[in-house]
């Protein structure tokens, strides 16, 4: 099959390209700057900024493709200029509309979009009002609606992805951010009270290949390999960094206050998070667990502990 991967230079995009090439597929990698570094006879490269291009520009690249994988877009760690809603519209929703329009023009039969497991949580807990409360979650929901609306003849799949572990050679892991900062320095380490679903870059790639090749059903599906508490993740990180310090779990009230303080700091600098702080504190205090067996049935992934992948990621973050 000929499959186009948009965002081929990112961590997940690279993993998906590797998995597709290993499966004998032809791949066209699209990114803003090119320079993917893949050396393979079945791989070609195209440069295009899908936040600025016209549908006809992308449709020319998609001509003859059997599937498109959208692996580009901002995630919930972004702290963009206010208002955050406009930023996520530009970085997530608008590219999805462009890609879906292009899929229709080029008559591509399958479209795969990498999304967020916050959409899964929003469906499971409508009483939390996640879509109305958080611009980031609202944008992820809009991706699904617009992809189905603008590419009605295509089989559309959204992979709803939780915490992802994995490394890319020569690139800092996604975890070198505020999540790890409270663990890296100081006389005590601080972690979050809840838990999360987790997966690996390899399993996301496996799910994307299944969706792109038609081996899995269209629709919205979470990708889950394991469930783990934030405290367990912190223990693994401290062990990899050889840090022997007390580990404190933030009470919900203090977590809420700290996130509100961050909101105030961001406001002073003209920025805003895509996740409203009081609602985010609740999310981080809950056990946001998914069913690894459901993911296995859908995509052929293997439920297992993510400990090895997480430790590898934390080692790379330390370096």
- pLDDT, one tens digit per residue, over 103-121 is 999 999 999 999 999 999 9
Which structural domain, as residue segments, surrounds residue 298?
2-246+259-318
SS (H, E, C) the chain: CEEEEECCCCHHHHHHHHHHHHCCCEEEEEECCCCCCCCCCCEEEEECCCCCCCHHHHHHHHCCCCEEEECCCCCCCCCCECCHHHHHHHHHHHHHHHHHHHHHHHCCCEEEEEEEHHHHHHHHCHHHCHHHHCHHHHHHHHHHHHHHHHCCCCEEEEEEECEEECCECCECCCCCCCCCHHHHCCCCEEECCCEEEEEEHHHHHHHHHHHHHCCCCCEEEECCCEEEEHHHHHHHHHHHCCCCCCEEECCHHHHHHHHHHHHHHHHHCCECCCCCHHHHHHHHHCEECCCHHHHHHHHCCCCCCCHHHHHHHHHHHHC
- Render pLDDT for 259-289 as a digit per residue (tens, 0 to 9): 999 999 999 999 999 999 999 999 999 999 9
Residue 253 lies in a domain: no
What value does the mean pLDDT take over residues 158-170? Answer: 86
- Render pLDDT for 35-71 as a digit per residue (tens, 0 to 9): 666 778 888 888 888 888 899 999 999 999 999 999 9
- Render pLDDT for 177-235 as a digit per residue (tens, 0 to 9): 666 777 777 888 899 999 999 999 999 999 999 999 999 999 999 999 999 999 999 99
What value does the mean pLDDT take over residues 10-31? Answer: 93
What pLDDT, on a 0 to 100 scale, did the predictor assign at position 170? 58
pTM: 0.93
Q: Is the pLDDT of residue 162 over 70?
A: yes
Instruction: Assign residue 194 the CATH number of its domain.
Output: 3.40.50.720
Give first-to-last CA distance, the chain, whole Å: 38
Q: Kindly list the strands in the beta sheet with 43-47, ordered across the sheet, starting from the edge strand earlier in the chain.
A: 43-47, 26-31, 2-6, 67-70, 110-116, 155-161, 219-222
Residue 226 lies in a domain: yes
What pLDDT, on a 0 to 100 scale, did the predictor assign at position 34? 67
Confidence band, pLDDT 50/70/90 cuts, at residue 78: confident
CB 127 within 8 A of CB 79: no
Residue 134 lies in a domain: yes
Cα 297 from Cα 294, distance rounded (Å): 5
Residue 251 lies in a domain: no
Confidence band, pLDDT 50/70/90 cuts, at residue 32: confident
Residue 288 lies in a domain: yes
Residue 252 lies in a domain: no
What is the residue-averaged pLDDT of the chain?
91
Structural domains of the chain, count: 1
Q: Is the pLDDT of residue 11 over 90?
A: no
**Percent of the chain residues topping a pLDDT of 90:** 77
Q: Is the pLDDT of residue 256 over 80?
A: yes
What pLDDT, on a 0 to 100 scale, did the predictor assign at position 9? 85
Residue 302 lies in a domain: yes
What pLDDT, on a 0 to 100 scale, did the predictor assign at position 203? 97
Q: Is the pLDDT of residue 146 over 80?
A: yes
Confidence band, pLDDT 50/70/90 cuts, at residue 31: confident
Residue 254 lies in a domain: no
- Render pLDDT for 92-106 as a digit per residue (tens, 0 to 9): 999 999 999 999 999
Q: Is the pLDDT of residue 80 over 70?
A: yes
């Amino acid at each position: 099959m000929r499959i186009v991967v948009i965002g081929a230079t990112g961590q997940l995009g690279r993993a998906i390209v590797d998995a597709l090439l290993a499966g004998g597929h032809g791949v066209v990698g699209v990114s803003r700057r090119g320079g993917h570094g893949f050396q393979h006879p079945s791989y070609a490269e195209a440069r295009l900024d899908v936040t600025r291009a016209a549908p006809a520009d992308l449709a020319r690249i998609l001509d003859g493709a059997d599937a498109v994988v959208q692996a580009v877009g901002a995630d919930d760690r972004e702290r963009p200029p206010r208002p955050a809603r406009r930023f996520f519209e530009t970085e997530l929703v608008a590219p999805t509309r462009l890609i879906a329009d292009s899929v229709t023009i080029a008559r591509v039969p399958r479209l795969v979009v990498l999304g967020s497991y916050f959409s899964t949580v929003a469906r499971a807990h409508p009483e939390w009002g996640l879509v109305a409360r958080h611009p980031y979650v609202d944008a992820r929901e809009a991706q699904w609606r617009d992809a189905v609306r603008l590419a009605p003849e295509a089989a559309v799949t959204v992979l709803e992805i939780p915490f992802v572990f994995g490394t890319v050679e020569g690139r800092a892991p996604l975890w070198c951010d505020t999540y790890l900062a409270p663990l890296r320095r100081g006389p005590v380490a601080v972690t979050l009270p809840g838990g999360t679903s987790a997966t690996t870059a390899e399993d996301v790639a496996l799910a994307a290949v299944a969706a792109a090749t038609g081996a899995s059903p269209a629709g919205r599906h979470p990708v889950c390999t394991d469930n783990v508490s934030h405290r367990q993740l912190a223990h693994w990180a401290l062990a990899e960094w050889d840090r022997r310090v007390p580990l404190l779990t933030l009470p919900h009230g203090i977590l809420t206050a700290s996130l509100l303080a961050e909101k105030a700091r961001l406001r002073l600098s003209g920025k805003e998070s895509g996740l409203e702080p009081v609602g985010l504190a609740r999310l981080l205090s809950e056990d946001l667990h998914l069913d690894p067996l459901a993911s296995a049935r859908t995509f052929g992934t293997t439920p297992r502990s993510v400990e090895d992948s997480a430790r590898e990621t934390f080692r790379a973050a330390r370096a």
